[in-house]
Amino acid sequence: MIGKPGTYVRILVIEDDKAVSDFICKGLDELGYNVDAALDGKEGLFLATSEKYDALIVDRMLPNVDGLTIVQTLRASDHSVPVLFLSALGEVDDRVRGLEAGGDDYLTKPFAFSELKARIEALLRRGQPTDAPVTKLNVGDMEMDLLSRSVTRAGREIELQPREFRLLEYLMRHAGQVVTRTMLLEHVWDYHFDPQTNVIDVHISRLRAKIDKGFDTPLLETVRGAGYRLA
């Protein structure tokens, strides 16, 4: 399966800071990805256009050709490779500009590797061709019907609030992957901000009480130091 370590997945890292670049490459390499590194924008653009990659990790500020230009150039020539932007001082405006230029996701330095890993996995999955629009999601013995907006587990109906439904839907769409708290805030609540408390944990524990309580195998798992994973 594409996007899973162990298969031949190629990732290009365009980052001028050698230390950061090594940190990313080493981490991805250990996960089994095939990683190329470019230390400036020109080389990065050359590699991105001449080779075939499954995902790009691009720093915003680069010598010669900056990150935004690289992605704009790729998009202008109908290159649809998923792109994750990195930025030294990630601010909302930078993020929006990055996404407008054709980036698929945005990550602020400094970041935990687990955050990068979770986002790359999400991107690689997004890069796959999707079949007809899904109307049902299945994880284990849990089924979500997107049309009737109902959830059952082992045939038992589970009552969810609208926001809980969206939360579970996002987790189910990323089943098997680690999903970070920031990703949940961005995609389920649609706000990019810095929560003072672990408010997401409270929502997760409520959801967990509804979907896992009374069942033998828990589906929603907490990954320490990273986020959550729906098995």
Residues that bind other proteins (CB under 8 A): 89, 91-93, 96, 108, 110, 112, 163, 189, 191-197, 199, 202-203, 206, 224-225
* Distance, CA of 219 to CA of 151 (rounded, Å): 14
Name which of 137 and 226 has its Cβ closer to other proteins.
226
* Distance, CA of 94 to CA of 73 (rounded, Å): 18
Name which of 170 and 189 has its Cβ closer to other proteins.
189
Task: Supply the minimum distance, in Å, between the C-beta of residue 190 and other proteins.
Answer: 8
Name which of 39 and 226 has its Cβ closer to other proteins.
226
Q: Are 122 and 171 in contact (CB under 8 A)?
A: no
Q: Is the dihedral of CA 123, 85, 68, 19 positive or negative?
A: negative
Task: Supply the minimum distance, in Å, between the C-beta of residue 189 and other proteins.
Answer: 6
Task: Supply the minimum distance, in Å, between the C-beta of residue 40 and other proteins.
Answer: 25
Name which of 151 and 204 has its Cβ closer to other proteins.
204
* Distance, CA of 157 to CA of 184 (rounded, Å): 24
Task: Supply the minimum distance, in Å, between the C-beta of residue 218 and other proteins.
Answer: 20
Q: Is 200 helix (H, G, I), strand (E, B) or coil?
A: helix
Q: Is 134 helix (H, G, I), strand (E, B) or coil?
A: coil
